[in-house]
């Protein structure tokens, strides 16, 4: 019998009993390196890369249908877990630094995303924590880029070295998780490193 206020759904029951994910361990809730790479590759070419969108969950391989990806996306926005993408033409200064609020994942999360299997819900949580870390990484790269820009404007510094460093920051922004030397939570293991500071 379904919980009070919830209708029984045979489809939901079957999806939770037999999740369909090729080569995806039922106990593994972290993104595979391929899933993380696919997500970042997709986001980098979207108009607002920091903002997850309707196709992000499908591209990452969390859900296997576009319609489910859209419903998952809308449920996460409705419950304040992710921010909706801004309107076209939004000024870069108005964009949020972190577009994921993992603190909004509550005990009701499984009911809020009842349209997907429990395993997929766990993978969504893994994706959200991964994306929160990715947003923090990009924010650090933004700070580093701004420091280099300020040093370039200030003058009196080796301009050629600063331009090379600026180019390196822009290249690091485009690196896929599997290409990085830094550790990434909710993906594979890596070697951590600290970003340099420019004065």
Task: Give 1-67 as a 3 state SS string.
Answer: CCCCCCCCCHHHHHHHHCCCCCCCCCCCCCCCHHHHHHHHHHHHCCCCCCCCCCCHHHHCCCCCCHH
Asked whether residue 99 is domain-assigned, the answer is yes
Q: What average pLDDT does range 75-89 have in this prediction?
A: 91
Q: Is residue 163 part of a domain?
A: no
Residue 179 confidence (pLDDT) above 90: no
pLDDT at 95 (0 to 100): 81
> For residue 25, how many other CB atoms are within 10 A of its CB?
10
pTM of the model: 0.76
Domain assignment present for residue 65? The answer is yes
193 — pLDDT class (breaks 50, 70, 90)? very low
Please state the rounded mean pLDDT for residues 170-179: 89
| pLDDT tens per residue, range 118-163 | 888 999 999 999 999 999 999 999 999 999 988 888 876 788 888 9
Is 75 a member of any domain? Answer: yes
Residue 180 is predicted with a pLDDT of 79
Asked whether residue 165 is domain-assigned, the answer is no
Within-domain flag for 16: no
pLDDT, position 53 = 92
What does each C-alpha distance from 13 to 16, 122, 163 come to in angstroms? 5, 16, 57
CB atoms within 10 A of CB 138: 17
Q: Higher confidence at residue 25 or residue 42?
A: 42
Question: Which has more pLDDT, 12 or 131?
Answer: 131
**Structural domain boundaries, residue 92:** 28-136
Classify residue 62: in a domain, yes or no.
yes
Q: Specify if 13 maps to a domain.
A: no
Q: Structural domain tally of the chain? A: 1
């Amino acid at each position: 019998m379904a919980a009070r206020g919830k209708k029984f759904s045979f489809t939901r029951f079957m999806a939770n009993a037999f999740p369909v994910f090729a080569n995806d361990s039922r106990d593994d809730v972290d993104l595979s390196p391929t899933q993380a790479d696919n997500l970042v590759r997709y986001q980098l070419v979207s108009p607002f890369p920091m903002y997850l969108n309707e196709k992000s969950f499908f591209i990452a391989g969390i859900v296997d249908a576009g319609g489910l990806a859209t419903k998952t996306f809308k449920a996460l926005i409705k419950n304040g877990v992710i921010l909706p993408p801004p309107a076209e033409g939004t000024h870069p200064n108005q964009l949020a630094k972190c577009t994921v609020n993992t603190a909004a994942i509550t005990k009701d999360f499984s009911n809020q995303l009842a349209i997907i299997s429990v395993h997929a819900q766990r993978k969504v949580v893994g994706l959200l924590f991964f994306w929160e870390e990715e947003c923090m990484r990009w924010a650090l790269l933004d700070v580093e880029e701004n420091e280099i820009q300020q040093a370039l404007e200030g003058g009196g510094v080796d301009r050629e070295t600063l331009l090379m460093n600026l180019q390196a920051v822009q290249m690091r922004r485009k690196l896929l998780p599997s290409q990085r030397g830094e550790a990434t939570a909710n993906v594979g293991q890596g070697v951590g490193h600290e970003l340099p500071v420019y004065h």
